[in-house]
Each structure stands twice: as C-alpha cells, then as structure tokens.
Structure 1
Amino acid sequence: MFTRVLVANRGEIAVRVIRALDELGIESVAVYSEADREAQHVQRATHAYLLGPGPAAESYLNVDKLLEVIEESGAEAVHPGYGFLAENAAFARRLEEAGVTFIGPPASAIEAMGSKTKARELMQDAGVPIVPGTTDPVESLEDAERIAEDIGYPVAVKAAGGGGGKGFRVALEPDKLKDAFEGAAREGEKFFSDATVYLERYLPDPRHVEVQVLADGHGNVVHLGERDCSIQRRHQKLIEESPAPLVDAELRARIGEIAVEAARAVDYRGAGTIEGLLSDEGEYFFLEMNTRVQVEHCVTEEVTGVDIVREQILVAAGEPLSFGQDDIRWHGHAIECRINAEDAARNFAPAPGTVTHYREPSGPGVRVDSGVLSGSEITPLYDPMVAKLIVWDADRERATRRMARALKEFEIEGVRTLIPFHKAIMASEQWAKGETCRDLIEDKEWLKTLAAPKPEPAAEEAEVVARDYVVEVSGKRFQVTVHGEAAASNGAAPKAAPKKRERKGSSGGGGGGDTLASPMQGNVFKVLVEPGAQVEAGALICIIEAMKMENEITAHKAGTIAELPISEGAAVKSGDTLAVIKDA
C-alpha cells in the first residue's frame, strides 16, 4: 500500500480524495495555485506545495512542475481527480516513466477512449451499439455538409477529444452547420489541443444514462448500475440521480453488460463510466467513456454502499476488487444537485465572488461534498462549482422531498448559486414525471422568474464622532476615546434616514439604451464584429470565457456598432461596456 499520494487537483474532488486517503492511513500531498492559497484542500492535506500562478496552464496543468513536486514530496502515486490531467495519456505515461503510480487506467486505455472517433470505432468493432454517425474525423466543412445530408438533420458536431460538454455543438438546420463545426473545432483545440471533430445523429430529447464500472488488474470487471444525467445546460450536467427513472432490471442488466464489454475491450483498470443515450423506444447507444472518476459518482456510492474513490486507490495499489457482480445490491434512490456559482435567471451566467457566509444542510440521508468555506473565493479561473448536495431516501419521491428540504437549509451568501433553480426543478411537474426538464431549462422567461429579489434600500448610516473621556477602574484613571453616533439637538440619537440611491452613469456599461454591457467577469475569447458593422438584434457580438465556459454575447438591439472597446484576450468585469450600438 502507498504511504504518500499526491492529489493533482483542487476543489471538492481534492477534498474527497484526501478524505479517502485519511481513512486508508495514507499521507496526502496537496498542490495549489496562488489563487488557491487558502483553499480547503490545502488546509486539509498532510503536505501542500505551491505550483504557480492562478491560470491552470501555469499551475494545475504544468506537468513539469507537478513532476518536480512529486519528486520533492516523495509521493509514490498520483490521484488526478476529474478534469485537468485526469484523462491525459501523456501525463500518465510520464508518471510511469518516473516510477510513480497513476491512480487511473493505463495510458493505452486513456488514448483509446480519449479520442471519441477511435472509441466509437472500437465499440462498433466490439459489437457495442453506437449513435449513427462517423467513426472517422471530419476534415472540412464541405465534408461535414455532405455527411450531414446522409445522417439527416439535426446533427451533433463533437470534438474528438471532447468531454464534459466541451466541444459539443448542434446544427438543427443546414445553415447552422458552419457555426457548429467551427465552434466545436475551436473548443476542441482550446480545451483538448485537438481541433478534430466528428458528426453523429442528434437525438433531440434522449435520456442521458451512464453506467459506472470498476476493473482491477486481475481481470475482474463489474458495473455498479446506472445514473441518469439528463438535466443539463449547454450539454453540461446539473442534476444526477440513481437509479435512472426509466430503467428497469432487464434494461439495467443489458446496459451493464454493454459497459463491462466496453471496459474489457480496452483492458481497463480503475473507475470509469460508459456514457450513453437512451431513446424513448428503449434503444441504448454508446456515447463515450470517461476514463476517470465522475463528478456524479456520489449517487452511485449512496445506492450501492461502494466507496468508489477508495476502490480506485486499492486497485492502483495492486489489490483485487473485494466483491463480484453478484455481490452488488441497489438500495433506495439518490439525487445530486450541483451547487454552481451561476445565475440561472441570466441564462446560467457565471457568478464568481467571495463566499461571505456558508452553512451546509444536515440530517438523515444528506451529504455535501464541497471545497469551500466561509471566506472562500470562487474565482473565474476555474469551474463554477461551490458544492455538490447529495441526498438518499427509500424511493424517488421521498428523495425529492429530502432534497427540497436540504436545499432550503443550504445557506450561501456572497455569490449567486443554482440553489433557486434546483428548488424550482424539484417542485416541478416535469421532475415528478421523470422528464428531462429541457423545456424549462431552455425557457428564458421561466429562468427569469428565479431571479433574486431586489434588496431593500439600506438605511443611511448615522454620523460617527469621537469623544474623549477619563474613567477610573480599581482606583486607577484611564483616558479613553469612544466612537459613536452623533447626538441630535435634543441629546437623543437621531433616527436613520432612508439612504439615497446613488446615480450611476452609463460609462459602466449598464444595461439598456445603446450600451451592451458584459453580464459576467471573464476574458474576451473572440470578437465577431468590427466598428461600423450593421447588426441585427440577437447577432453574435463576442464570446466571453468565464469559469471554463464559452458564453456567447449577442446584440440587444439592431443598429450600427458605434463603439467596440474590447479586444481578444482582454479581461472584462461584469457591467463593462462591450459595445455601443446606435440606431441605424
């Protein structure tokens, strides 16, 4: 068994791994960026090392620096969590060359499943059903247009190295294919250093059902049942549950067998997830394999009693799985809500900031996986997750009521979160019926109803004055200064008058009029217009990257671009002017 393990991640997953290491009696080594100096995972670990500046490319993705820390700390193994380097075959191979254990699958399995086109081809050859589409990369827009006609619209354009909703665009009609093709390729290059894309049939409203697998180095592969992750925004998950509402025992056995065969096909080892799409007709198609622990692994742990992270570590240490497929039992129902720093009322705009107050819910069947505390900074440099709220109860209806109760108890101040959104979903008829809730999530007017109420005008602060007094304590005199409210003319403290609202000029980029203001803090990734251009309402003006998401900013009115005070790569704050659009 290992004596010291480095956790190459941050946030809640780093804390989750450190807890597992603590229970196994293994020392933990945390790494952090300058932006994460006070982070909870740094405080909890046995040892902690600074990697570099805030941007991930200079810290958490800096392989050379990580290898230096591994050597300096004496870590024998590395747990990558999810994201960052978790599915980076080159990193796994560098660790192997250095004699350090990668707590994950072999580099060959990461490579086989990391390329979505290779994975589709491999699964097709293994007899695993795949969504109709291409197994070869699509080299050009012209090729994409021809293939899309054969597949039929709508089509999904996906980055070959994509995952986590990145590099996924949909063309509902032929005239939308160019934007989808270029957008998917751009995100693929940016997030995965691979602009290769492929096409597949887009299923408009399928269930997103995935299967958790575990495999050891002794030929044992088991599945732990399925999770339903259909409630998503921008193809990124918001709510997960297990078991899936529409999966019965027969279907569970069938898709579980598909998952096990997929894992065996690449000689898998460790924890992994086979993602798939389930049609209304009961057709199940392989979508991709995530060669890591998933954000939503918690709901599977709750219904099976298996500690997936602990099993990862034990398998990496060479131990066989301590149970077989026939030993797995599923009990009750679990739901996970991702508590992200986002404003659902503004179409899930990122909402970074400082957590000024934080109090987690508790009670029977309630679990919170979090990486923050009161005072933690939710920075736009990383993903927007604040915490994961997981509940378990005997069935889906009871688990829903428990989640509603826990959401009501969760107190987070200082940043906007998705708590109001989750409360509304849990109370909706669509959720009760086990639907995907896509109609709600895509309804901007419904989302606006989740906006936080405007705060009451604050009372004007009374004037504070200083007065000097001489006091005597135990026979000794002291001179003290007391700061307090100025007295009124009759000697009484004056009542506070209503505070006057300050007038704000338009230079800050406030909404309305000709000014298009930034709805978020982030960096300008791309500018799509030029000064003097004529635009229609809804035309794409720029793309702002914030919290690992690309956010398309569109014109609020038709007219001429009179001012464009932004440039690609520049930082912007919420409220900054992006463009001034004058009436044509």
Structure 2
Amino acid sequence: MIGSLLIANRGEIACRVIRTAQRLGIRTVAVYSDADADALHVRMADEAVHIGPSPVRESYLVGEAIIAAAKDAGAEAIHPGYGFLSENADFAQAVLDAGLVWVGPKPASIRAMGLKDAAKKLMADAGVPVTPGYLGDDQRPERLKAEADAIGYPVLIKAVAGGGGKGMRKVDRADDFADALASCQREAASSFGNDVVLIEKYILSPRHIEVQVFGDGQGNVVHLFERDCSLQRRHQKVIEEAPAPGMDEATRAAVCGAAVRAAQAVDYEGAGTIEFIADASEGLRADRVWFMEMNTRLQVEHPVTEEITGQDLVEWQLRVASGEPLPRRQEELSIHGHAIEARLYAEDPATGFLPSTGVLEHFDLGEEGRIETGVEEGDEISPFYDPMIAKLVVLGDDREEAIGALAGVIDEVEVWPVRTNAGFLFNCLLDDDFGTGEIDTGFIARKLDELVPAPVADEGVWRAAAVIALARDEEDPLAGFRLNAPSQPAVTLSHGSERRRIILADDEDFAPASGFRDEERVVVFYEGQAHEFSLGVRGKVGAAGGDGSIIAPMPGKVTSVDVTAGASVTKGQRLLTLEAMKMEHAMFAPFDGTVTEINVEAGQQVAVEAVLATVELVAV
C-alpha cells in the first residue's frame, strides 16, 4: 500500500480523499494557494505545502509546482481529485516520469478519452452506439454552422476538451448559432486552453445516465451500476441519484455492459465514468441510449454509488494504484437501496443564481445524512473557485424514502450571510414530477419559475422571526411592557420593503423553523431559505428596474462587450459578458433604453460592485 499521498486539489474532494487515506494509515500532504492558506483540507492533512497565488492558473493548475511539492514533502503518490489536472495526460505522465505513483488511469487512456471527438470515433469502432453529430477537424464557423444546419436544430455545441457543464451551448435556431459558438469557444479556451468543438444532435427528451467503471492493472474491469444525473442547470449537475429511476434489468445489463466494453477498449485502470444520453420519450430502452463521453477520474457524484454498493471508491483507487487487484468481482457487487445527492452551491437563485461570496459567519448543515464539505463556520467562500460548498447525500430503502430524507436534511441547512441554493434544491425534491421520476435534462429549465423560492417570507416565517427576536429578552422584566396595558410580547421587524409589529401569544412557538439573532437582525431558516429581518427599523428597499446601472456582482474579467455608448437597447438584450468563478455571466439591459456609458472593455478585470455600464430609460 502507498505510504504517503499528496492530494493535488482543494475543497470537499481533498477532504474526502484525506479521510480515506488516513483511515488506511497513509500520510497525507495537502497543497494550497494564498486564498486557501487556512482552508479545511489544509488543517486536516498531516502536512501542507504552498504552491502559489490564488488564481488556479497560478497554483492548482501548475503541474510543476505540485510535483515539486510532492517531492519536497516526501510523498510517494499523487491523487488529483476531480477537475483541475485530473484529466491532464501530460501531467499524469510528468508524475510518472518524476518517479511518483499516479492515482488514476494511464496517460494513454486519458488521451484516448480526453477529446470528445476522438473518443466517439473510438467508441463507434468498438461497437458502442454514439449520438449523431459532427466530429470533424474543420473548425471554420461556416463549416460548423453548415453541419449544424444539416443535423437539424436543436443542436449542442460542445468543447472537445470540456467538462463540468463548461464549454457547452444548446442552439435552438440557426440565427443563434454564431453567437453561441463564439461564447462556447471563449469559455472553452479560458477553462481548458482548447477551443475546438463538436456538434451533436440535441435529444428532445434526454436523460443523463452514467455508469461507474473500475479497472486494475491485471486486466479486470467491472461496473458499479448506473447513476441518473438528469437534473441539471446550464448543463451543470444539481441532483444525482442511484440507481436510475425506471431502469429495468434488461436495459441496465445492456448499458452497464456497454460501459465495461468502452473501458476495456482503452485498457482502463482506476475509476472512470462512462456517460450516456438516453431518449426517454418512451421510457429507458437499451436501443435509445448513446455514448456521450468518458470522464477519466472520480466523479463529483461518486458518493451515491458508494452508498448503494457499500464500497469506498477512493480506497479502490488507492489499492489499484498500489498494484492490488480490484477489491470485488462483478458478481460480488449489488444494489442496496436508493441514494440521492444534492449539490449545495454558494449562489443566489433570486438573482439568477449569481455566485455568492464572503465569510460563513453562520454555517450548520445538521447531523443527518452524509455531508461532504470543504468548509467550516468562519471559513470564506472566495471568488476564485467553484461555488459548490457541500454535497448532501442520503440512502433510503427506496426512492420515496430517500427523497423525504434528503428534503429533511436540506430543511436543516443554515448558512449565513453567504446565499445558497438550498431552497431551490428543496423545491426540486418536492416537485410532483420529480417524485414520480418524470425527469429529463430540461426539467429545471421548464420549471424554473416554480422551483426558485419566493424571496418574500410567509406569515409563519414572520412569526418565527418574532419568536427568535424575543427569545433573548425572556429574562428582561420589562420585555413586552406597555404603559396602562397588560404585558404582551411584541417586536417590530422589517423584511425587504415591508415593516410589521408582531404581537405574540404568551405561549407562542414555531418549532419547524430555526434561526439566530444579533443586535441588528434576525435570520430565519425554513425549507432551505434564509430570511433576514431587521430589528426595529425599516429594511433597505432595493432598486426595482428604475436604476440603469449595470453592476458587477463579483470580481471577474469582461470577456465581451456587445454594445456601444449611444446604442438603443431593449429589455433583456445582452450588454456584456463577465467571467467569474469559472463561469460566464451575461449582463442584460433592465429595460428599453439608451446606453449612456460603457466603462469597460473586453479583457478588463473588474472589482465587485463596479459600474460596468449605464442604461437610461426611454422617455414615454
């Protein structure tokens, strides 16, 4: 067994790997950037090495610095986690050339499956069904558009080196193709250093089905069954589950068998995931499932597979990398129960899911289920990295039980002042169609207005806030005192633009909600939502469309400016695009008007709350 391990990653996956490695008696070495100097993964590891400034391109993507850190710390092996350098074949080869153990597949396998176009050709040759599309070398925009026209809309533009939902655009109309292609290529070049794309037919009732595969250095390959990752927003997975709802044994055998053949075709070692797209218009059928791509690493959603199989996939990785055979044969693996995972992001659904940053002044994810996180109370969510702050995972005897259990976990989420998508996740789980398994990758887009929680607090939350506000005053003999009137507890609260005086009954309580109070505010947590109430004074009233200032919601880089000063614009028209936290965020005109100021140019770095542009309302 490997004696010492450097984890070339950060956040929850670094903490996840450290826990298993330490359980196996392996000494762990963390790496960290300036922003992560006090991060949880650094505190958990036996040793930690600084590798550079906060931006990933100057730290976690610098392979030479990571290999040097491993050598300096005396580590025998490097585990890449997921993202960053985990699917970089050159880095994997450099690790091996440095005399270190690479906890992952062989560089040749990564290369074979790393580019989506080459992987699809390889799979087609191996008899694995692939989706119709264009995989050619001719990347001229006119050629790509001609191919899309021939395939028929809608189509999907995908970066060949992409992953994690980045470098991907759905195009519904020929007129939208050029803009979508340019945006996709910019994001792909920024995220992966490669702007080459492929074109695929977009399946109208798609389910995202993936199969966990594992190989060792002795020719053995097994699958650990399938996961369903159909609930996605902007191609980024939000809720994942295993096994897939509605999967019959015959279809499971066909899909999982195809996944094993795909892994065998590249002589695969270690953990990998074969991703399929299924046309679920008539349910899951073996003849309507096509290969999409292979992820040559551990997946974010691997815990649901661990939960239903009872296996530790990180332990499997470490044992295989140490030269051991697979811990289980195929016939020794089976499914027990149903597992669901929800990704808790530092983002605000009420503002179009813009990332939220800051210090976690209050952070409590409860004690139920399996919580995978890389932060604790007092840690900071920075603008430099992916906004996922935790994975919430449960195992139930069946799907209905798992849904209820996960909704209960999310109901107990308490995060402040950083905003999260917990309320959105809660609504997804309790949606009737999700409950019956009527899901596809367009589920969230179709139901977005229903799934995004209303920012307005209901009557129960107002009264819960009053209970919390008055709880600290119980020992005050003057609490609730009014001249010439019976004593009765009361408090004045403001929420958004609304102000109320709440009078409580002497014995009133509100058990379903939780929260806290400080000298200025009360925060109530209910069904994943965080509601802030100001004490005794009117809350701030936000600008509601009359203010034409386009404000940067976070630090980032302007990637495109689509209008000029003096231009007439219509409500919802894109003005510019900002890249932050590894994603592109389009900024739109708030109303019909005239652009009076453009204060930035493409390539410019901007600070949070910088005024990027100004639109003046058209006089009526």
Question: Match of 1:261?
Answer: 261
Q: Which amino acid aligns with 2:48?
A: A
Contact in 2 for aligned 1:421/1:450 (Cα 8 Å): no
Q: Which amino acid aligns with 2:246?
A: L
Secondary structure of 1:212's match? strand
Secondary structure of 1:156's match? strand
Contact in 1 for aligned 2:338/2:398 (Cα 8 Å): yes
**1:449 pairs with 2:453:** yes
Q: Could you tell me how far 1:449 is from its partner in structure 2?
A: 3.4
Q: Distance in 2 between matches of 1:150 and 1:441?
A: 26
Question: Match of 1:358?
Answer: 363
Q: TM-score, normalised by structure 1?
A: 0.89
- CA pair 496-180 structure 1, distance change in 2 beyond 3 A: closer
Deviation readout 1:528-553 (Å, 9 max, x if unpaired)? 22222222222211112222111111
Secondary structure of 1:435's match? coil
Question: Match of 2:476?
Answer: none
**1:428 pairs with 2:431:** yes
Q: Could you tell me how far 1:513 is from its partner in structure 2?
A: 2.9
**1:164 pairs with 2:198:** no
Q: Could you tell me how far 1:231 is from its partner in structure 2?
A: 0.4
Q: Distance in 1 between matches of 2:566 and 2:166?
A: 33
Secondary structure of 2:134's match? coil
Contact in 2 for aligned 1:531/1:564 (Cα 8 Å): yes
Q: Greater shift after overlay, 260-269 or 352-361?
A: 352-361
- CA pair 388-505 structure 1, distance change in 2 beyond 3 A: closer
Deviation readout 1:119-170 (Å, 9 max, x if unpaired)? 0100011010001012323411111122112211111111111111111011
Question: Match of 1:194?
Answer: 194
Mark the runs of 5 or more structure 1 residues left unpaired by the alignment.
Answer: 459-494
Equivalent residues in 2 for 1:51-450, closer than 5 Å: 51-280=51-280, 281=282, 282=285, 283-363=288-368, 366-436=369-439, 438-450=442-454
- CA pair 286-401 structure 1, distance change in 2 beyond 3 A: same
Question: Match of 1:537?
Answer: 571
Question: Match of 1:518?
Answer: 552
Deviation readout 1:194-229 (Å, 9 max, x if unpaired)? 111111101133110000001000000000000000
Deviation readout 1:323-356 (Å, 9 max, x if unpaired)? 1111111000000000110112222211112111
**1:556 pairs with 2:590:** yes
Q: Distance in 2 between matches of 1:444 and 1:290?
A: 28
Q: Distance in 2 between matches of 1:375 and 1:312?
A: 32
Q: Which amino acid aligns with 1:68?
A: A
Q: Distance in 2 between matches of 1:192 and 1:452?
A: 40
- CA pair 127-421 structure 1, distance change in 2 beyond 3 A: same
Q: Which amino acid aligns with 2:416?
A: E
Q: Distance in 2 between matches of 1:264 and 1:433?
A: 35
Q: Distance in 2 between matches of 1:146 and 1:52?
A: 45
Secondary structure of 1:295's match? coil
- CA pair 137-187 structure 1, distance change in 2 beyond 3 A: farther
Q: Greater shift after overlay, 149-158 or 83-92?
A: 149-158
Q: Which amino acid aligns with 1:234?
A: R
> What percentage of residue pairs aligned between the two structures are identical?
45
Q: Distance in 2 between matches of 1:514 and 1:215?
A: 57
Contact in 2 for aligned 1:339/1:387 (Cα 8 Å): yes
Question: Match of 2:600?
Answer: 566
Q: Could you tell me how far 1:248 is from its partner in structure 2?
A: 1.2
Contact in 2 for aligned 1:138/1:197 (Cα 8 Å): no
Provide the alpha-carbon RMSD of the alignment.
Answer: 2.2
Q: Which amino acid aligns with 1:436?
A: I
- CA pair 95-440 structure 1, distance change in 2 beyond 3 A: closer
Q: Distance in 2 between matches of 1:164 and 1:231?
A: 14
Q: Could you tell me how far 1:567 is from its partner in structure 2?
A: 3.2
Equivalent residues in 2 for 1:3-22, closer than 5 Å: 3-22=3-22
Q: Could you tell me how far 1:502 is from its partner in structure 2?
A: 8.5
Question: Match of 2:532?
Answer: none
Contact in 2 for aligned 1:344/1:451 (Cα 8 Å): no
Q: Distance in 2 between matches of 1:503 and 1:78?
A: 50
Q: Distance in 1 between matches of 2:331 and 2:136?
A: 38
- CA pair 344-102 structure 1, distance change in 2 beyond 3 A: same
Q: Could you tell me how far 1:572 is from its partner in structure 2?
A: 4.2
Secondary structure of 1:321's match? coil
Q: Could you tell me how far 1:496 is from its partner in structure 2?
A: 11
Secondary structure of 1:311's match? helix
Q: Could you tell me how far 1:447 is from its partner in structure 2?
A: 4.7
